[in-house]
Amino acid sequence: MNTPHILLIEDEKDIADIVAFALTRAGMRSSHATGGGAGLALLQQGADAVILDVGLPDMDGFEVLKHIRKHNETLPVLMLTAQNEEIDRVLGLELGADDYIGKPFSPRELVARVKTVLKRAYRLPENDRTNDDTTAQAVCSGAFVFDAERQQMLLHGQVLPLTLAESRLLQHFIRQPGRVFSRRQLLAAVFSDHHPSDERTIDTHIKSLRMKIRQIDAAADPILTHRALGYSFRGDGA
Work out the pLDDT band at 136, boundaries 50, 70, 90.
Answer: very low
Q: What pLDDT does 132 receive?
A: 41
Q: How far is CA 150 from CA 121, 123, 162, 167, in A?
A: 11, 10, 13, 13
Q: What pLDDT does 12 receive?
A: 93
Q: Is the pLDDT of residue 220 over 80?
A: yes
Using CA atoms, how far apart are residues 152 and 139, in angstroms rounded to an integer? 11
Q: What pLDDT does 194 receive?
A: 54
Determine the Cα angle at 45 with ends 42 and 51, to 5°: 50
List domains and CATH numbers for the chain: 5-124 (3.40.50.2300), 131-233 (1.10.10.10)
Give 21-65 pLDDT, tens digit per residue: 999 999 999 999 999 999 999 999 999 999 999 999 999 999 999
Please tell me the pTM assigned to this model: 0.64
Give 152-199 pLDDT, tens digit per residue: 888 998 988 888 788 889 989 998 889 999 998 998 888 765 555 567
Question: Across the chain, what does the average pLDDT equal?
Answer: 83
The values of phi and psi at residue 70, to 5°, are: -65, -30
Using CA atoms, how far apart are residues 38 and 32, in angstroms rounded to an integer? 9
